[in-house]
Amino acid sequence: MRSSLHLACVFCFDQPYTASAVSMDRRFENAVEPLIRSLENDDRLSLVVHISGRLLEHAIAHRPKLLGRISALSQQGRLELLGGAFFSPVLGSVPERDAVGQLRFTGNWLKRNLNALPTGAWLALRAWDPTLPGVLSQAGVRYTLADDALFFGAGLQPGLVHGHFVNHRAGNSVSVFPIDRRLTKTVAHAGNTRAREILERANEAHQGEGDRIAVLAFDGDELVQSGRFAELGPLFSENRHWLKTITLQRAFETFPTRGPVSLLTGADPGLAEWACTAEARERRRYLQFRLDQAHVWSMVQYHVDRVIFDNFLIKYSEANRLHKRMLSVSNSIDRLRNILSDRQIAKRVSKTDSHARKVLERACDALWRAQSHAVFWHRGKGHAGIYDPALRIATTRQLMQAQRMVEKALGDPAKHGFWGGARDYDSDGNNEAIVMTQHLSAVVHAADGGSLWELDLRRKGIPLLTALSPVEEPYDDELVGNEVVLVEGQELSRERIRAVPKTNPGVPLPSRNRELARRRVDRVPRGAFQDHILGPETTLETYAHRQFRELGDFAKGRFELARISAPELPDSPFGVVQVIRSGVAKDVDKTMLLRITKEYRFDPHRARMVLEHSIANRSRDTASLWHGLEWTFGLPSGEDLNLWATAFEDNDERTYQLIDGAQDLGTVTWLEIKDTETELAIVFETPEPMRVWWTPVTSVFETDEGWQERVQGQTLLFHRDLEIWGQDTQSLELTIDFLLG
């Protein structure tokens, strides 16, 4: 008797929590509804579906009848609802308590609303982590899926990677089904004739070994809306005698495990180039080129080409900041959870505890929404992700909302006007200063140029530092019009790999894509209150394009966190954070020894911050330099059309709009940046006139609608020419008020 090939076809429907109702309705009408209809019309077809929490929330409110039909198919055993974390975080990147909480929440939601209790779980981005057996088993998950590349990387032969395996970790275990990427790609993109040929070949290879199961994982929207899913009906119906569909639950119960396996960290292999920094991507391509020449690339690529999701946090500093803020908020929520638990154990429950538990639930909801993987990465046309300003702002506001709720439940640390402390906020081995007043909260990162990492209007829930500095992406390789040139026997370097250097200021680059030629990549990193010693040839244009010479080592240099002090009235009405760095500025014919001191002063009772800045010349010779103090911040409302600037000097008033591009605001003593939608005005005052440049932070990236240019934030540069005598110091005072209309 001929053995059968059982296909577990998994359809994933995911949507970020910022998705509009219109886009979700379109997704249900064009993808989910046709899929369910096909199942209803063919009682021999069995499928597996994962629907993310945001779509489920929309469906329960707007499409309850469709959910009823899904529930009926689930009860018949022909549609398996695959669980997973409700708001689609990468489980290995969030605290275990949150991962378990989201997995359990999904199970409870499906049981309550669809009478379906999932036994399996979908992993966002198919991201596996060795710690997951413990997380998944705690949540009652018995099996999950991972890419077959991880099994090959674990040393298994391709012909043996099918069925399901057991992964153990510290006494916990979970079964893992390998996703057959080759079969998935064939079925999704080849015609039925070619797909049947490949599937039949896979089945014949295992004749005599009994029935075999293969797992295929599809982007549900792509497969259904392309029309390919409708074409698969005849393929399945004409070959039912040997080609059958099956749910994962049925496969798990029917097919015995193929044994234990230990999988390393990994994710969707399609993210390999996107997760790399530009330098790592070039090294990878060079390595592939040389191994291809030796005809061994196919043997080692699964060991070389692993995708580690956390690499996105290295590639995008803004994603890392969001992630570390998320971890901090999660710790605050856990502190509230532990306090309530301890009170209950000690039987010291107060009347306010029931309210505090409701606050805890709402704070967890806001935190979990902000843990969605969507904001932490980018993949060109398929996923704007971190390049979406609205998504970054919404995620930050969710975290601020959760933090604010916990502070109200436990007591505001800044209830007396000011709170300050030092801890390793981003786990980089250095202490950062964390400051809160009644109106502001801030993180001063001494080791990162002594700059501000975070600055929020606490009471209004407005984050100010949500800008993004664009980095080099895989599609930037098209900027070079020639093929890659590799020079044998020479050390690998960007100049030798690239036929045309990308970083030659003022030289137009050959390009096969007009939109790509307009991309701006920030090769000089941006910051909030970052010090630049500018080369004398710097212009507004070269500064805007981040192609200026940096003479000093202060912009990203390590400052010392010298002092955090509370206000001491009446002599010191401000809370203070002071950072200091002694460094060097070098030009062609001179070297200057400088010490920069930045003192951030926070008003306890007003939304005001004062920066006291001084540069000391540590040598005996006069230091002549062009100093710039940069503040890069986000778009409060997310739209550049809303942003205006008004500059004053004496009685001269000038008005500018951000959409007009990089602008020289001239010499000012008073400057107002206003967002007309949020009615937030940021007012800068200096006792002495300073020159100011204003440049938008722009990026060009590909979306489903084509190439888009987006303003990701804006940069102000307060700059001045300085002559500092030997052993002398020059100071600057900048007062910043945040006013809401």
DSSP track, 159-173: GG--S-EEEEETTEE
What pLDDT does residue 482 have? 34
Whole-number mean pLDDT of the chain?
A: 89
Reported residue count of the chain is 741
CATH of the domain at 594: 2.70.98.10
User: What's the sign of the alpha-carbon dihedral 632, 636, 642, 645?
Assistant: negative
**483 found inside a domain:** no
Number of other residues whose CB lies within 10 A of the CB of residue 185: 12
* pLDDT mean over 502-528: 63
| Helix/strand/coil percent split, the chain, to 5 | 35, 30, 35
**408 found inside a domain:** no
- Of 215-219, 282-286, 565-569, where does the model show the most confidence? 215-219
**Residue 210, domain extent:** 5-118+180-248
Strand, coil or helix: 648: strand
Q: Judge contact between 540 and 693, C-beta under 8 A.
A: yes
Largest CA distance in the chain: 95
Q: Which among 220, 248, 276 is the end of a domain?
A: 248
Beta-carbon contacts of residue 171 (< 8 Å; ≥ 6 apart):
none
What pLDDT does residue 183 have? 93
Is the whole model's pTM more than 0.85, yes or no?
yes
**641 found inside a domain:** yes
Q: Which among 248, 275, 298 is the end of a domain?
A: 248
Confidence of residue 487 (pLDDT cuts 50, 70, 90): very low
**731 found inside a domain:** yes
* pLDDT mean over 131-156: 94
**363 found inside a domain:** no
* pLDDT mean over 125-144: 96
**225 found inside a domain:** yes
- Can you tell me the distance from the alpha carbon of 301 to that of 287, in angstroms, rounded to the nearest whole number? 10
What pLDDT does residue 2 have? 66
Total domains in the chain come to: 2
What pLDDT does residue 513 have? 65
Q: Which among 228, 248, 268 is the end of a domain?
A: 248
* pLDDT (tens digit per residue) in 678-727: 899 999 999 999 999 999 999 888 877 788 888 999 999 999 999 999 99
**378 found inside a domain:** no
Which of the two residues, 408 and 205, has the higher pLDDT score?
408
Q: Which of 233, 169, 165, 205 is nearest to 9 (CA)?
A: 233
What pLDDT does residue 207 have? 66
CATH of the domain at 231: 3.20.110.20
- Can you tell me the distance from the alpha carbon of 292 to that of 512, in angstroms, rounded to the nearest whole number? 27
Is a pLDDT exceeding 60 seen at residue 557? yes
Beta-strand relationship, 83-84 and 143-147: unpaired
**646 found inside a domain:** yes
Is a pLDDT exceeding 60 seen at residue 402? yes
User: What's the sign of the alpha-carbon dihedral 58, 60, 62, 64?
Assistant: positive
- Can you tell me the distance from the alpha carbon of 299 to that of 313, in angstroms, rounded to the nearest whole number? 29
- Can you tell me the distance from the alpha carbon of 734 to that of 610, in angstroms, rounded to the nearest whole number? 6
**For the chain, counts of helices (H) and of strands (E):** 21, 27
Strand, coil or helix: 151: helix
What pLDDT does residue 490 have? 37
Q: Which of 717, 555, 524, 721 is nearest to 630 (CA)?
A: 717
Confidence of residue 313 (pLDDT cuts 50, 70, 90): very high
User: For the chain, what percent of residues have pLDDT higher than 70?
Assistant: 94
Beta-carbon contacts of residue 526 (< 8 Å; ≥ 6 apart):
467, 469, 546, 630, 632, 697, 715
User: What's the sign of the alpha-carbon dihedral 715, 721, 726, 727?
Assistant: negative
Is a pLDDT exceeding 60 seen at residue 326? yes
Number of other residues whose CB lies within 10 A of the CB of residue 10: 24
